[in-house]
Structures are given as C-alpha cells and as structure tokens.
Amino acid sequence: MIKGFLNSPTLLPGKGIVKTNVILDGDTIKSISSTPLTISKEDFIELPEDLILVPGFIDEHIHGSDGVDTMEGTFSSLHLIATSLLQDGVTCFCPTTMSMNKESILKALSNIHNYIHNDPQDGSRVLGAHLEGPFISKTFKGAQDEKDIIPCDVSLFKSFQTACPEIKIVTFAYEENGDELLEYMVKENITASIGHSNCCSKMLEKGIEKGISCATHTFNAMSPLHHREIGTVGGVLFSDTLRCELIADLIHVSPNAIKLLHKCADNRLILITDSMEAKHKKEGIYSLGGQKVIVKEGAARLENGTLAGSILTMPQALKNMKETLNESFENLINMASIIPAKNLKIDDTYGSIEVGKKADFVVIDSSFNVKATIVGGKILYKEEEMTCLQ
C-alpha cells in the first residue's frame, strides 16, 4: 500500500495536468495540494516529468479477455479477466452477459455477485453486472443468438436481480414491451441503455423522457438513420441527454461516424471495449455466447461475418480517439473515467482524482501507454522500467 504521490504530474478535473501532491488514507484520497510538503518520503512516489497520474479507466461493457468469458460463470474466469485488465489501466469494470438460456444467465449473474463479495483484491474491481440481453430485438441481434431473445419481462428480470443485486446497467430494446421494465429500472436506480434495438425515434424520445439514459455501443446493432425516419441511431444522436457508448476500434465505427457522434455528444461519450475472450490472445477460433467466433486482422466475427464483440483494449481506444478527434488529453481521459462513472451512478466514489474518492489510478505517458495501475492504493501492475514505483 502506498501513501500517495508527491510533486507528480496529475490530471485534475477542470485543471488539466498539474504537479500535485496526492495523499492517501488507505484506499481513499485524503488530500490534494500543490504546496511543497515537509514529510517523510517513505512509501510516497514521485513521478518523472514524462509520466502522468490519471484516474483509473472504467470499462462498463466487456464480455471477456485472455481466453475466458463472463458467461462461463466461474470464479476463476472472472478473476482472470480482472487481473488481465490491469495491464490496460482498467481499475473497474462491469462483466457483461449475453442472450443465452435463463439458467446460463443466472449462473453468470450469481458468479458476479459471489465474486464481488469474495474479491481477492488483486485485480480490477468488479462494479456489478451489465445485462446485455435477452430483452433485445431479433432484428438487430448482432452476435446474440436469436433463439434466446425474448420481449422485456419484469418478472424474469427480478429473478436475475435476485441472483445479482449488483446489476448496474441493462441493455434492452424499449420497443419490445419495455415500458414496465424501464419504470422498474428507474425505480431501482439501474442505468437503462437502449441497444440491439429497432426503436423508432418517436418511441425512443418517449423512452428517454421516462428514464432511458444511455445508448449501447452507439451505431452498432440499432436501426439506422433515414431521412424520413431517423431510427434508433437518429434518436440517439438527436438527444441532448443520452450518454453514448462507443467501440473505438475503427472497425465497428468509422472515423467520420466517431466525429459525428462527438459533435452530438462530446461530453457524454463513453469508451467501451465490448471485448470478448480473444483480447490479448493470438488470432484464431474463439467463442462468444456459445457461438463460434473467428478472430482475424484485428476483428472478431461470427462465421456469417457479423462482428462479435472486439479485441480492443482501452489504451488503444484512447489512441484511436486521439488520432480521430481534435480533442484535449483531459477530455479523452474523461471518456474512459468520469463519464462512465456518471453513467453507472458511481461518480461520488470513482472516475476522477478528487478528495474522498477511491485511490484508483493509472500512470501513463502522453501517448496513453500504461506504465502502472493502482487499485485502492495498491500497485497491482507496473512495467519493469518503472523503478520509481518500488
């Protein structure tokens, strides 16, 4: 456990990169000051000029990594995902489910609940579950198996919630009998995210008024924009309130589409990886939701060519955004930290370097290369050359 950082380049909200002292009290940020401190430097870290302390990255939409998947429903698979994400600077994540049979979903959710309450604390934090399906559209199912897709069902959702009270976000097709489920999620303070949806723009506008607050992997698996019916995509872009997930691998979405989304939702854009088990692995044959996935040339696809998640890492997403947009370093980091924290309603504890928040940090260079990852004041990952982190 470290005591903090002294005189280190630090990304502070609204201030940019400032040489700062960040003092910890266990796993929490106790104080932040630019005033020189006369204290013993034992167990404190001073970063060199070319490195920056930034808030830990939050991935609210990830299926798997390093050869394992959330739907396996085992403690060991979730633990491997949690530890593998440290190299990417991800300090918090939401394991994401798929449309499979009820028993498989319950098993995965129960495992997420069990992991949260028995966390070995040597990896990225599991915040809670992201339920993606089965309440989605068969028309825009993406890589989800159609046989397991059903209309929204509050009673079934409550059984999912019993297995995992920590469900944080739900991707659903509002047009598929979604009114009652939306009302229930709003009451339960769960983030309702439109996705895998054929919702018309008028209906989506109504859903946003009732509490839909997010769009799942914007552009992907939703009805497209047309000049006589702007569809789900158009409804998302037209909204002034929706936070918008984005898979910025430059495969799921083109650079110009990213620029368009940025124009419409520049301070509401959330970077996600939507990665599957092939992340950090070689090209080859893998699985997602029980379906065969072929990973080749940086893309993961079903045998019919449908994109099936990604192999994207969060640092690469940030690099792609930097190359695509004329955007500040701080605003790019916000897309992977404070904006997802706000979306998950945890920004009082996570997402930025502020007094009272958790001591979750990433040490990176100006090109978003991860040098070290700190979770709750513990250095859980560092590159060998990081001699300042002894």
Cite the active site residues. 274
Buried/exposed code over 254-281 (b: 16+ C-beta within 10 A; e: otherwise): eeebbebbbebbeebbbbbbbbbbbbee
Q: Which two tokens stand for residue 244?
A: 């918008």
With a CB cutoff of 8 Å and minimum separation 6, the contacts of 72 are: 108
Give the Cα separation of 37 and 368 in Å (integer).
29
Half-sphere exposure of 73 (CA within 13 A, CB side): 16
DSSP state letters, 228-257: S--HHHHHHHH-SS-EEEEE-SSSSS-HHH
Alpha-carbon distances, residue 124 vs 77, 180, 265 (angstroms): 13, 34, 28
Q: What residue has token string 């997420």?
A: 112
Residue 332, helix vs strand vs coil: helix
d(Cα 318, Cα 81) in Å, to the nearest integer?
20
CA dist 310 and 63 (Å) reads 9
